[in-house]
Amino acid sequence: MTENVVKVLKANAWSVATCADVPNVVPVGFKDVTEEGLLVVGDVMMDTTVKNVLANGKIAVSAYDPKTSEGYQVKGTAVYQTEGPVVDAFREKAMAVFHGAMTVKGALVITPEKVIVTTPGPDNKKEL
């Protein structure tokens, strides 16, 4: 992933889409991009998303900067984890935000396979 893609992903909200028996798209708040280029999402209320990932591992993430319209779609595979450093970090973050009212049940760890430009203009739909 390019520096611009990581910048847009880190600074803006994501929509996460999955599909198995039931198509599903959700906004996510607990998310990050690791130094290795993996996308990680904390599971607070993602029941259908998790079921879909467990069914086939396929996922898409979309993010864009509303000020500039620069945007990207990341398609890849995801695994669901219920323990480990990624989950622990999201649990700490949820505790700070929700003060125990909600907890993180696990985390999606996403391996990008394709990055597609969604920015309006001549590069729209270009695969990076």
Tokens of 6: 């990581």
Q: What is the mean pLDDT of each run of 10 residues along the chain (128 residues)?
A: 96 96 91 96 94 96 97 98 95 90 93 98 97
Cβ neighbours, 10 Å, residue 36: 6
The confidence score (pLDDT) of residue 22 equals: 82
DSSP letter string, 8-41: HHHHS-EEEEE-SSS-EEEEESSEEE-TTS-EEE
| DSSP 3-state of 124 | coil
pTM: 0.93
Residue pair 30/42 in contact (Cβ under 8 Å)? The answer is yes
pLDDT value of residue 105: 94
